[in-house]
């Protein structure tokens, strides 16, 4: 059976001299693994689509043992990501996270849209890269079933922006008046940080990137969203460790 879908390469592994096994994040099937025969040859019509960060429209043959490529039309290859070590490591981190957390063999249009937007903003310097990282981390968590409750204090419902703490473990807010309650490790949120977290978690996808944040807020966000994703995915990511080592 033949299927048509759009997908981006998030992992590729060489197999022999000419072949690759490719993990694609697709709109209709989520994460799938395909066998790409002969794509390492420069004469292959599918060589371009098999590269990392390559986004293509594909016709695949779905057999009993998996998928193989029939035809491909490359829509975009984010080559600019490979020209900067910070961008490259961050993009590889996004791909590692998608392999770990995106749906397998299920519809995943929003996941694909998220990573494509992040790549575009990152490649073209449309936004601070650490803010893009925070947007990716928190939004992916909310899409994957780890939506935090950021509407108000869990105990009293207070909405105060200047006196709130976030429990990463409980995924809830606690106001300063309710700190005696036991919610594990708490992180104090300034008004800008809480406002940004609410926007990332709750805004429609078409408005997700339409906000600004100060350097102070971005620094605060980066630590919170990274920890939140790591705690909920139960995974360590090599590309993230490398990216953080560059920043140090």
| Structure confidence by residue, pLDDT tens digits, 190-216 | 879 999 999 999 999 999 999 999 999
Compute the mean pLDDT over every residue in the chain, rounded to the nearest whole number. 91
Judged against a pLDDT cut of 70, whether residue 183 lies above it is answered with no
Q: Taking the CA of residue 91 as centre, how many other CA atoms within 13 Å lie in the half-sphere pointing to its CB?
A: 28
In a domain, 55, yes or no: yes
Q: CA-to-CA distance for 188 and 220, rounded, in angstroms?
A: 9
- Whether residue 131 sits in one domain with residue 39: no
Overall average pLDDT of the 142-154 stretch: 94
Residues belonging to the chain: 248
In a domain, 109, yes or no: yes
- Whether residue 217 sits in one domain with residue 136: yes
SS3 content of the chain, % helix, strand, coil (to 5): 40, 30, 30
Tokens representing residue 68 in the block:
């193989």
Q: What angle do CA 116, 233, 58 make, to 5 degrees?
A: 35
Domain span at residue 71 reads 2-77
The whole-model pTM stands at: 0.94
- Whether residue 140 sits in one domain with residue 53: no
Query: DSSP states of 11-35 as a string?
Result: EEEEETTTEEEEEEEETTTEEEEEE
- Whether residue 212 sits in one domain with residue 140: yes
- Whether residue 100 sits in one domain with residue 211: yes
In a domain, 206, yes or no: yes
List C-alpha distances in Å: 235 to 49, 211, 226: 28, 29, 12
- Whether residue 8 sits in one domain with residue 109: no
In a domain, 174, yes or no: no
> Which of 45, 77, 109 is where one domain is finished?
77
Q: CA-to-CA distance for 26 and 32, rounded, in angstroms?
A: 7
> Which of 38, 54, 77 is where one domain is finished?
77
In a domain, 168, yes or no: no
Overall average pLDDT of the 153-159 stretch: 89
Supply the CATH number for residue 190's domain. 1.20.1440
Q: Which residues partner with 166 through β-bridges?
A: 173, 187
Q: Which residues partner with 188 through β-bridges?
A: 165
Sheet with 149-153, side-by-side order of all strands: 149-153, 172-175, 164-167, 186-189
Query: How many domains, in total, are found in the chain?
Result: 2
Does the CA dihedral 182-185-190-192 come out positive or negative? negative
Q: At residue 189, what are phi and psi to the nearest 5 degrees? A: -110, 125
- Whether residue 99 sits in one domain with residue 26: no
- Whether residue 129 sits in one domain with residue 191: yes
- Whether residue 99 sits in one domain with residue 60: no
Q: Which residues partner with 168 through β-bridges?
A: none
Predicted local confidence at residue 180, as pLDDT: 77
- Whether residue 109 sits in one domain with residue 40: no
In a domain, 99, yes or no: yes
In a domain, 208, yes or no: yes
With a pLDDT cut of 70, the percent of the chain lying above it is: 96
Q: CA-to-CA distance for 217 and 189, rounded, in angstroms?
A: 9
Judged against a pLDDT cut of 70, whether residue 132 lies above it is answered with yes
In a domain, 166, yes or no: no
Please, is 246 exposed, middle or buried when counting C-beta atoms within 10 Å of its C-beta (0-12, 13-18, 19+)? exposed
**Each residue of 7-41: pLDDT tens digit?**
999 998 877 777 788 899 999 999 999 887 777 66
Which single residue is written with the structure tokens 């090599």? 238
> Which of 42, 77, 112 is where one domain is finished?
77
- Whether residue 93 sits in one domain with residue 71: no
- Whether residue 243 sits in one domain with residue 140: yes
Supply the CATH number for residue 73's domain. 2.40.50.140
């Amino acid at each position: 059976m033949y299927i048509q879908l759009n997908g981006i390469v998030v992992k590729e592994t060489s197999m022999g001299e000419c072949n690759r096994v490719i993990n694609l994040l697709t709109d209709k099937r989520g994460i799938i693994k395909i066998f790409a025969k002969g794509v390492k040859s420069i004469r292959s019509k599918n060589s371009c689509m098999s590269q990392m960060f390559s986004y293509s429209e594909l016709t695949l043959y779905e057999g009993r043992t998996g998928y193989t490529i029939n035809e491909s039309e490359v829509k975009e290859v984010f080559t600019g990501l490979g020209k900067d070590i910070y961008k490259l490591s961050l993009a590889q981190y996004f791909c590692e996270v998608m392999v770990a957390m995106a749906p397998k063999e299920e519809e995943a249009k929003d996941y694909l849209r998220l990573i494509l937007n992040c790549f575009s903003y990152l490649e073209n310097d449309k936004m601070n890269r650490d803010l893009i990282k925070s947007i990716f981390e928190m939004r992916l968590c909310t899409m994957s079933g780890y939506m935090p409750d950021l509407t108000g204090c869990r105990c009293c419902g207070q909405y105060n922006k200047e006196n709130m703490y976030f429990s990463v473990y409980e995924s809830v807010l606690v106001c300063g008046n309710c700190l005696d309650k036991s919610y594990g490790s708490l992180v104090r949120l300034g008004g800008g940080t809480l406002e940004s977290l609410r926007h990332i978690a709750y805004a429609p996808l078409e408005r997700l990137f339409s906000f600004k944040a100060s350097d102070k807020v971005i620094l605060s966000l980066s630590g919170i969203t990274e920890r939140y994703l790591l705690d909920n995915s139960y995974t360590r990511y090599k590309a993230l460790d490398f990216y953080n080592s560059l920043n140090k």
